[in-house]
Amino acid sequence: MKKQDFVVRFAGEGGQGVVTSAEGLAQAMAQSGYHVQTFSTFPSQIRGGPTWTQTRIATETVLSPGDELDVLVAFNEYAYENHKDDVAADGVIVYNQGEFEIDASDNVLGMDFDELAKQTGNNRAANFVVMGALAQLVELPLKVLEDFNRERYTRGRPSDQQIIDSNNMALSLGSVEADKSGLVLGEIAEAVKPEGEQILVNGNIAISLGATAAGLDTFVGYPISPATPILLWMEQNLVGEGKFVYQSTSEIESITSIVGAGFAGKKAMTSTAGPGFSLMGEGLGLAWMAEIPLVVVNVQRGGPSTGLPTKTEQSDLLTALYPGHGDIKLPVIAPGTVEECFYAGIMAVNWAERYQGPVVLLSEHAMSERRQNIPRPDMSKVEIEKRKTYEGSNGYLRYDGFELSPMPIPGGSGAYIANGSEHDAMGDTTHLPARHIQMTERRFSKLNLLNDGNFESENESAKVALVPWGGSKGSVLAAYNQLVNEGLDLAWYYSMYVHPMPEGMLAALREKDLVIVPELNYMGQFASVLRSEGIKAVAITQYTGLPFKVGELATRVKDLVSNSVAEGVSV
């Protein structure tokens, strides 16, 4: 059988072309119809420092980065030492002989990346040398990479042809080296072109595109890994009359200025990560209290405090739900795939408009950098919502009653005071118990407007369910598929709508004997939320700063199930 799946990790130092190689390969393979997914971790320092990016190529949708490597491309000795143990038993190590030497062993291919590049007359062709070797290892026709090369470097510049020629030469030099070594991984199966048009994006861009599609007007953000690319994308693209995008001086300024924009009738958003999100707590409370629509994207990284800025974690769920003091529980949408990031961007804005309050979109580092082919979004299927605005005469009671009411917009009629202190119907500060009761119930009742989220389910009759959330979805789904193939009777439930969660999903989960929640945090945060909803949830946690490995996870699920059976849970 031909290879259906191919995992390559490029490891080296920042500036050696690690990321360009991985992303170039992903782009080339996606163009010829393969499914791809990249995964990176970066050093915190700006130049140099160990870095690696992984590209997974398959004939079907890629769910996870891949547990084991078919090929490790080691740009230096440190990379080789640190990553060689992740190479599969039948895998190959391609290494840069110009940098270091590995004692002869049967699965290594040494070549001098830079020397070979020099032979082409283009010192920057080293990544094409590497790609040529990779192609040979999996018997991929070089034409696939040559086509990519031509398309990529046809930029209408005089030097285009020279670059294209030298890259093509690099491809064949690399391929010849691999051929000489006699190493083979097996022929990669031909691509089965995905149905419909595809785009290649990462999570941060997908969120940005989604929010833009939802009609975003204002974006104010402060740089922080791994959310910065969203700010930069907005600065570049959300332009024109009536749009306002700006880099603030702090996350406090970000959140409070979008409170102002939301109050003024605009669709407003900010993006941040852990430390910045902590600074936004008070401002989010104001938006909840004064009933002002806005969206905060929190691209989670390892915490607490400055934590692990360039590693992944799902440890901000509780703070997203309860970002501030007092009775408050925010709507949270946590997309699980790059494709969902797009729709989460839209739905976060829609929800904010619909219930007139703040919404948190919870992404995470691993997804922000994950570049993946996804079906091109169909804008005709996307519904864009706008808040109900007040158009009547003056003397309006903006906060009257126990339910959502139309919102007056400054410049129009119905002047009121949007108040972060407890207030009466017109927005004046009050301390009357009856008012605090009314307004508290009013704020929570509005969440009922958001109960319409969809969810996925499989094998609903099983008594034990596997229920991931957020960016772990792909790895958990891969583990689920494996376990079901092995004959385990396991149900699957998933929704990106973490709060409010779809009623149907909650009801189904309450019926289960055991709900297993794999999540990337120490506390088992989502499991604890589910338990508070009357669900028998148990977490499988990991807090390494890295995503789940599918095989390990499957084993842990199996162990948990058999231990539970021992304790009387029926499977």
Q: List binders of another protein among 374-393 (CB under 8 A).
A: 376-377, 379
Q: Is residue 486 packed enough to be buried (19+ CB in 10 Å), middle (13-18) or exposed (0-12)?
A: exposed
Binding window for another protein (CB under 8 A); candidates: 47-55, 256-264, 454-462, 536-544: 256-264
**Binding flag, residue 60, another protein (CB under 8 A):** no
Any idea how long the chain is?
Answer: 571
**Binding flag, residue 411, another protein (CB under 8 A):** yes
Please state the closest distance from residue 281 (CB atom) to another protein, in A. 10
Number of residues that bind another protein (CB under 8 A): 74
**Binding flag, residue 122, another protein (CB under 8 A):** no
In the region spanning residues 234 to 253, those forming contacts with another protein, defined by CB under 8 A, are 237-246, 248-250, 252-253
Contacts of 426 (CB under 8 A, 6+ apart): 396, 397, 398, 399, 416, 417
Q: Which of 101, 197, 383, 567 forms a contact with another protein (CB under 8 A)?
A: 197
Degrees (nearest 5) of the Cα angle 369, 94, 21?
A: 35
* Per-residue burial over 67-85, b = 16 or more CB atoms within 10 Å of its CB, e = otherwise: bbbbbbbbbbeebbeebbe
* Whether 389 contacts 413, CB under 8 Å: no
Degrees (nearest 5) of the Cα angle 57, 491, 552?
A: 50
* Whether 345 contacts 210, CB under 8 Å: yes
Please state the closest distance from residue 372 (CB atom) to another protein, in A. 11
494 DSSP β-pair partners: 456
Please state the closest distance from residue 12 (CB atom) to another protein, in A. 26
| Closer CB to another protein, 257 or 310, in the complex | 257
Q: Which of 285, 335, 471, 500 forms a contact with another protein (CB under 8 A)?
A: 285
| Closer CB to another protein, 29 or 93, in the complex | 29
**Binding flag, residue 323, another protein (CB under 8 A):** no
Q: Which of 164, 290, 320, 450 forms a contact with another protein (CB under 8 A)?
A: 290
| Closer CB to another protein, 24 or 547, in the complex | 24
State both tokens at 547.
């995503």
Phi, psi (rounded to 5 degrees) for 39: -145, 130
| Closer CB to another protein, 240 or 568, in the complex | 240
**Binding flag, residue 257, another protein (CB under 8 A):** yes
| Closer CB to another protein, 269 or 529, in the complex | 269
CA pair distance 65, 447, nearest whole angstrom:
36
Contacts of 278 (CB under 8 A, 6+ apart): 319
**Binding flag, residue 412, another protein (CB under 8 A):** yes
| Closer CB to another protein, 154 or 563, in the complex | 154
State both tokens at 312.
């992944």
Q: Which of 65, 283, 323, 468 forms a contact with another protein (CB under 8 A)?
A: 283
Residue 473's nearest CA partner among 435, 436, 517, 504 is: 517
**Binding flag, residue 195, another protein (CB under 8 A):** no
The edge-to-edge listing of strands for the beta sheet with 244-247 is 244-247, 218-221, 268-272, 294-300, 358-364, 332-333, 497-499
DSSP, collapsed to helix, strand or coil, labels residue 469 as: coil
Q: Which of 62, 126, 133, 259 forms a contact with another protein (CB under 8 A)?
A: 259
In the region spanning residues 354 to 373, those forming contacts with another protein, defined by CB under 8 A, are 373
Q: 488: left (phi > 0), else alpha (psi -120 to 50), else beta?
A: beta
DSSP, collapsed to helix, strand or coil, labels residue 372 as: strand
In the region spanning residues 432 to 451, those forming contacts with another protein, defined by CB under 8 A, are 432, 435
Phi, psi (rounded to 5 degrees) for 29: -70, -35
CA pair distance 99, 117, nearest whole angstrom:
14
**Binding flag, residue 544, another protein (CB under 8 A):** no
Q: Which of 420, 502, 504, 545 forms a contact with another protein (CB under 8 A)?
A: 420
Residue with tokens 């229920």: 467
Q: Which of 104, 431, 433, 487 forms a contact with another protein (CB under 8 A)?
A: 431
* Whether 475 contacts 547, CB under 8 Å: yes
| Closer CB to another protein, 99 or 424, in the complex | 424
| Closer CB to another protein, 130 or 439, in the complex | 439
In the region spanning residues 207 to 236, those forming contacts with another protein, defined by CB under 8 A, are 209, 212-213, 217-218, 220
* Whether 342 contacts 206, CB under 8 Å: yes
CA pair distance 151, 24, nearest whole angstrom:
12
Residue 317's nearest CA partner among 347, 275, 361, 379 is: 361
373 DSSP β-pair partners: 200
Q: Which of 102, 176, 200, 569 forms a contact with another protein (CB under 8 A)?
A: 200
**Binding flag, residue 1, another protein (CB under 8 A):** no
**Binding flag, residue 2, another protein (CB under 8 A):** no
Binding mask 9-48 for another protein (x = CB under 8 A): ------------------x--xx-----------------
* Whether 232 contacts 374, CB under 8 Å: no
| Closer CB to another protein, 143 or 180, in the complex | 143
* Whether 295 contacts 211, CB under 8 Å: yes
| Closer CB to another protein, 88 or 252, in the complex | 252
H or E stretch at 498: strand 497-499
Q: Which of 98, 260, 275, 545 forms a contact with another protein (CB under 8 A)?
A: 260
Q: 406: left (phi > 0), else alpha (psi -120 to 50), else beta?
A: beta
**Binding flag, residue 424, another protein (CB under 8 A):** yes
**Binding flag, residue 566, another protein (CB under 8 A):** no
| Closer CB to another protein, 415 or 546, in the complex | 415
CA 317 to chain centre: 14
| Closer CB to another protein, 380 or 485, in the complex | 380
Q: Which of 109, 140, 268, 483 forms a contact with another protein (CB under 8 A)?
A: 268
**Binding flag, residue 198, another protein (CB under 8 A):** yes
Q: Which of 408, 453, 468, 547 forms a contact with another protein (CB under 8 A)?
A: 408
**Binding flag, residue 280, another protein (CB under 8 A):** no
